Amino acid sequence: MAGEQKFNVLSPFVIDFDIHSGLSDSKESSRRYLSDMKNMYFDDEAYHQLVKEGDPLVYEFYELDIPRTPGDIAFGTTVIYPGKVGREYFMTKGHFHEILDTAEIYYCLSGRGYLLMENTEGDWTACELAPGKAVYVPAGYAHRSINTGSEPFVMFFAFRADAGHDYGTIEEKGFRKLVVEEDGKVAVIDNPKWKN
Ligand code: MN
């Protein structure tokens, strides 16, 4: 057809993600070690100590080669390992989408944890997830996954493939809230490092 936009159209394909571990036998994951997350945890002393003691793997996820078009859907799994930096649970860096008005869904396969979300107006929410629960991250919300359990926290995700990732805003400002252990329980507290 004249004027029709040409996209790099994929053929149908199948990919494996283990329903418990979330890992794929056929793809390489992207890995984030604690040393990749400088200044993102509030307890700097505990952070540097843990990096020195062996720099643990905090999370891994899959970035498949899905074309970055508005009609494609990027998807994969993310696995956040159990652990804490001081009182703060292991978590992902978190990000806004570059195309801010694009949503995302996460579906929990195993483990337990939270999805922490906040938008540019300052609205925030922390949704607890366990196997079988899905969360809708609305357009405009930065999102971070946090493992509050004792086993890997595994989720499947999907979002518009051209949305892009803005990690810089969170790296610079942080989230307004932190998820920490307090008296043996999960607590959401104000982030003392947050910059308006
Ligand atoms: Mn996202």
- Return the CATH number at 49: 2.60.120.10
Q: Which structural domain, as residue segments, surrounds residue 107?
A: 30-190
Classify residue 13: in a domain, yes or no: no
Is residue 55 in a domain?
Answer: yes
Q: Which two tokens stand for residue 69?
A: 């078009």
The reply to whether the predicted model has a pTM over 0.85 is: yes
Does 128 fall in a domain?
yes
Q: Residue 30 Cα, ligand 1 centroid: separation in angstroms?
A: 15
Note down pLDDT in tens along the chain; length 196 residues.
455 666 678 899 999 999 999 999 999 999 999 999 999 999 999 999 999 999 999 999 999 999 999 999 999 999 999 999 999 999 999 999 999 999 999 999 999 999 999 999 999 999 999 999 999 999 999 999 999 999 999 999 999 999 999 999 999 999 999 999 999 999 999 999 898 7
d(CA 20, CA 113): 15
Residue 136 carries which side chain, given as an amino acid letter? Y
Query: What is the number of residues in the chain?
Result: 196
Whole-number Å distance, alpha carbon 96 to ligand 1 midpoint, is: 7
144 touches 111 (CB < 8 A): no
Ligand 1 center to 166 CA (angstroms): 9
Whether residue 144 is contained in a domain is answered as: yes
The alpha carbon of 53 and the centre of ligand 1 are apart by a number of angstroms equal to 31
155 within a domain of the structure (yes/no)? yes
Number of structural domains in the chain: 1
Tell me the CA–centroid distance for residue 1 and ligand 1, in Å: 34
Question: 113 by DSSP, 3-state: which?
Answer: strand
- Taking the centre of ligand 1 as the mean of its atom positions, its distance from the CA of residue 164, in whole angstroms, is 8
Do the domain assignments include residue 1?
no
Question: Is residue 11 in some structural domain?
Answer: no
